[in-house]
Amino acid sequence: FMTWAYSDKPKMTIQLANAFRKLGNKLDIMVIPIGLAFEQAKETIPEVVLHNEDRIHPSLEGTYLAAAVFYAALYDKSPAELDYHAGLDKTLARQLREAAWITVQGYYPSDK
């Protein structure tokens, strides 16, 4: 899976995305675009905190988002209507699931 940028180094996203895309193409394997979903979520939910205090590892919200991206990519289905929210605010959890689906649809626009 494509990792995410450190919270204090958002420009890492494009470098990571390019490297993972290149490797996925070379190996002819699916890449789960979690790093791009972090970027999408930050754009659509600016107040969300996706990293722990170390600025590297994901917070509960970041981990939840990553799981939603895996679901969307592996099942080719929107996680938006899933009911599990991992103890997060239900509205925020839905927004994260929607960000996951938007990201996956953009990364795999027609087929995998």
pLDDT digits (tens, 9 = 90+) for 52-71: 999 999 999 999 999 999 99
pLDDT of the residue at 92: 98
**Which helix H or strand E contains 18, and what residues bound it?**
helix 12-27
The pTM of this model reads 0.93
* Amino acid at site 99: A
Residues 6+ away with beta carbon under 8 Å from 93: 64, 84, 85, 86
Segments of the chain with pLDDT less than 50: 112
